[in-house]
Structure 1
């Protein structure tokens, strides 16, 4: 009854080196039943996607993208695919999103609505533009009843995380991730508009709630190795929140410039009373 969810930005060009093989080994060590991937340019090739399925031991759906594709992989022995939705992936988002509707298998009673799992990669170039992308994704995650999660490379400051040392952050990241300064001597402050969008949609940041519950600020450590921000995040709907059980950051070593993240859900604790039909 436990579902392990993992998200990993594999870093562009992973298939051109041995990095993808190293990430596959890492993923198989974590053993997720639900896997969110970003920057999987090579998986747009159906043959490479089929090879990835075999190496991961999971089924795989890859979304179309104007830039770097996203994907969701799942264990067919634990989750049944109902549908895949990428309606706005190439028109309204910089990198896009991959949204799956899934039915958990083996539960004593069927849920009234599917589990919606979205892998996304928000634009890195503007917090304001990423906020608009997040607004669209909030609509998609609730669209089929309200049991859902949005995860991936969110690219911007979460609510509540401490400010990094912005002087150590590349200037282009400061320009896209910080609030505008009125004077050059004014300190940099992160623009948290994306986190505000998720909060206003009643979504909960998995790492933040686990850090608060366990009094463990280490769970808020950065996941972007260069940008010094916890850009890799997962946000869950109210129905999923009672099922949240754990969270951890995963070091991919030299195989990616992003840490992976993983958490577990105790599926019997999902609050199906909070589901409803949304227009």
Structure 2
């Protein structure tokens, strides 16, 4: 299964960029697409038009700001339910459909939960609290889950960047506070630590370490130097990870898209757990 994540950048419906993003997605032909900053798809007519353009089914989560959405190929994934219970409590929210993957060697004993999210860019500490909530929702239905999207904060294991090149307002939200103006900036990795402690694995970092290929940790925000877009999986999905790459949408977004390849026949059934 190919999973794509794409922050489409606010206003894509107004300046024609959405058509280019649709073309990019269709050229990749993923079975699952995690979308962020798609507030225009909260209009049911626009969502239906997007389904037709993508040749995929689509569900859009409620949001206080910029909506998230998930699209899927019904020939590969059968929708069970969509969970957005706490979406309005997050800055941008989350969309958490549950699927039965079709055509596997043996059926999965729990649904695949695929969460598209966009954590708050304004505070690493608040984003970590949002990540805590997402951890709970991901494990809620058995623990076969992935969380992907615009995570907005510095991942574990990536090299420190030159923070002098970053806008001051992004340094205040993505770095540790300094005790003096002469102290160097250090990225705040609390979101990555939270996901790690929730036993999530960062797909790009996992393959970068496995293959000894640091290019897989390349930044995804075109202007912010950080790998802000990430895909994380629960322990049951670690053995399924087979590939990862960035996709350049050109002028259609200020974020690179992500592609993660997962072989769902390799799901670790021993890691499936009841939610308590």
- TM-score, shorter chain, exceeding 0.5: yes
Q: Which residue of 1 aligns with 2:70?
A: 72
Q: Aligned Cα RMSD in Å?
A: 0.6
The reply to whether residue 204 of structure 1 matches residue 201 of structure 2 is: yes
Q: Secondary structure at the match of 1:16?
A: coil
2:104 and 2:243 map into 1 onto residues whose CA distance is 20
- Residue from 32, 41, 44 that aligns with 1:43: 41
CA positional deviation for 1:36: 0.1
1:231 and 2:228 matched: yes
Q: Is the 8 A contact 2:242 2:262 kept in 1?
A: yes
The residue correspondences of 1:74-89 to structure 2 (distance < 5 A) are 74-89=72-87
Counterpart Cα distance in 2 of 1:231 and 1:108: 35
Q: Which runs of 5+ in 2 are unaligned?
A: none
Q: Give aligned pairs, total.
A: 276
Query: Quick one: which of 154, 157, 160 aligns to 1:157?
Result: 154
CA distance in 1, matches of 2:155, 2:27: 28
Mapping for residues 205-220 of structure 1, pairs under 5 Å: 205-220=202-217
Q: TM-score, normalised by structure 2?
A: 0.99
**Pair 1:221 & 2:218 matched:** yes
The aligned counterpart of 1:256 is: 253
Residue equivalent to 1:182 = 179
The within-5 A match list for 1:68-147 is 68-90=66-88, 92-147=89-144
Task: Identify which of 220, 245, 255 aligns with 2:242.
Answer: 245
Task: Kindly provide the CA deviation profile for residues 89-125 of structure 1, in whole angstroms up to 9, marking residues without a partner as x.
Answer: 01x2000000011000111321110000000000000
Contact 2:110 2:141 in 1 (8 A): yes
Corresponding residue number in structure 2 for 1:170: 167
State how far apart, in whole Å, the 1-side matches of 2:160 and 2:271 are: 34
Q: 1:28 aligns to what?
A: 26
What are the ranges of 5 or more consecutive residues in structure 1 without an aligned counterpart? Answer: none
Q: Does the 8 Å contact 2:106/2:265 carry over to 1?
A: no
SS of equivalent to 2:13: helix
Q: Residues of 1 paired with 2:111 and 2:72: CA distance?
A: 14
Deviation at 1:17, TM superposition (A): 1.3
Instruction: Please report the TM-score for the alignment, with normalisation by the length of structure 1.
Output: 0.98
Structure 1 residue 239: deviation in Å? 0.3
